[in-house]
Amino acid sequence: MLPALMTRCGSLSLVVGLLAVSTANGQNTVPGPAYPRVNLATAYEVDPNWPQRPLDVYWGAVPGIAVDAQDNVWVFTRTNPTVQVYAPDGRYLFGWRDDRPGAGAHFIRIDRESNVWMADVGLHVVRKLSRDGKPLMTLGTEGEPGEDARHFFKPADIATAPNGDIFIADGYGNSRVVHFNRRGKFIKAWGRLGTAPGEFSNPHSIVGDSKGRLYVADRNNVRIQVFNQKGRLLDVWQNVLVPWGLWISPKDEIWACGSSPMTWRTDLTNPSTTLGGPPKDQLFMKFNNAGRVLLHWTVPKGEDNHEKPGELNWVHSIALDSKGNVYLGDIMGQRVQKFVPRG
C-alpha cells in the first residue's frame, strides 16, 4: 500500500509542479500541441459589389429569388420592375413591370423548361410565364380568395415535379398543398390547419426532388415536412429551424433560410400573425434528402433601416448558382445579397 501511495503522491506532485511552472508570471512555459490550422468548415463572405443595380431601378421587400441555367439571378420584389434579372457578374439585364392593383410578390421559380412561375399573395394566383414574360397559365382566380379547385387564399410557393405536375403551397390563408397536372387540371389537395404531423400552419415554401418527393416549410410549426405526391407524410424534420424559404439543388440537397427555433413572440405591441416575425437571428442550412444537416451558417441580424453589408433582416428567400454562391433576399432589409463560399 505504501509504495503505491507514494507513487500516486509522486505523480500528483509532478502535475502540481508542471501547473506551477505553466502559470508562473502569468505565462505558459509548457508548449501545447501544434494544432493544424486547416479550415474544414465552409464559411461565407458577402460580395458587397454585387449587383450593380442602376440608380433608376429600385428594390422593395424581396420575398423571391431564382437562378436560371445561365446563373442569371431573378429577383421578385415588391416594387416595379417587380421582376429584375441580373447577370452572374451583377450587371442588370432586364425587368418586368406588374401594374395590377393589389399585386403581392412572393416566391419565384424557374422550371426544367425555363418557364418562370410566380406566386402572388395579393391577387391569390400563381402564374406561369415564358422567359420573355408571355403569360402561359394562371392558376387560381385573380382577386378572389377561396379554398377549392379554382381558388387559393394567399398562395405562397410553387414546385414542379419531374413529370411537369404542379404543387402549390397555399399558404397564408389556407393550410394545404394543391396538386395540378402539367396542363393545370386540378388533381387533389391535402392538409389542414393544425400542429399534428401532416397538418400545416403557414405552409410557406415548397420544393420537389428528382424522385418526386415534396418538402414543405411548415413555418409556424418550426419544421419541414416531407410528402410523396399523393400527400402521404414520409418524414418530419422538427425543431431545427424556423423555415422561411427553401431551394433544392440538382443533387437533391435541400437548402433552407430562416432563423433558429423560437416560440411565438409575446413581447410585441402588435404581435406578428406568423411565427418568427421578427426573428431572433438569421441563418441558412443545407440538408440531404434524409434530413441530415450538412451545413449550418449564421449571419448577423441587421437593425431596421440600418442594415450593413453581410447582415440579414427577415431573410425570406434563398437560391444558389452553379458555383455554390448563395443569394439571399430580405423583407425588412429590402435587398438581395450574394454570399461567396470560402474554405
What are the boundaries of each domain within the chain?
Answer: 45-342
Closest among 135, 138, 166, 136 to 151, alpha carbons compared:
138
Looking at residue 312, what DSSP letter applies? B
Check: CB of residue 125 under 8 Å from CB of residue 138. Answer: yes
CB neighbours (10 Å) of residue 225? Answer: 25
Residues forming beta bridges with residue 43, ordered by sequence position: 342
Closest among 309, 314, 253 to 278, alpha carbons compared:
314
- State the pairing for strand pair 83-86/92-96: antiparallel
Residue 11's contacts (CB-CB under 8 Å, 6 or more residues apart) are: none
**What pLDDT sits at residue 110?**
98
Percent of the chain with pLDDT over 70: 91
- pLDDT tens track for 170-227: 989 999 999 999 999 999 999 999 999 999 999 999 999 999 999 999 999 999 999 9
Half-sphere exposure of 4 (CA within 13 A, CB side): 1
The distance in angstroms from the start CA to the end CA of the chain is: 56
Q: How confident is the model at residue 121 (pLDDT cuts 50, 70, 90)?
A: very high
Cell numbers found for residue 198: 401532416
Cell numbers found for residue 88: 452572374
Looking at residue 171, what DSSP letter applies? -
- pLDDT tens track for 225-250: 999 999 999 999 999 999 999 999 99
Q: Is the pLDDT of residue 73 over 70?
A: yes
**What pLDDT sits at residue 29?**
74
Q: How confident is the model at residue 155 (pLDDT cuts 50, 70, 90)?
A: very high
45-342 CATH: 2.120.10.30
Q: Is the pLDDT of residue 23 over 60?
A: no
Residue 240's contacts (CB-CB under 8 Å, 6 or more residues apart) are: 223, 224, 261, 285, 293
Amino acid (one-letter) located at 55: L
Range 4-18 burial, b when 16+ CB lie within 10 A, else e: eeeeeeeeeeeeeee
Looking at residue 249, what DSSP letter applies? -
pTM surpassing 0.95? no
Average pLDDT, the chain: 92
Q: How confident is the model at residue 267 (pLDDT cuts 50, 70, 90)?
A: confident
Longest dimension (CA), the chain: 94
**What pLDDT sits at residue 18?**
40
Q: How confident is the model at residue 17 (pLDDT cuts 50, 70, 90)?
A: very low
Q: Is the pLDDT of residue 9 over 60?
A: no
Mean pLDDT of 107-134: 97
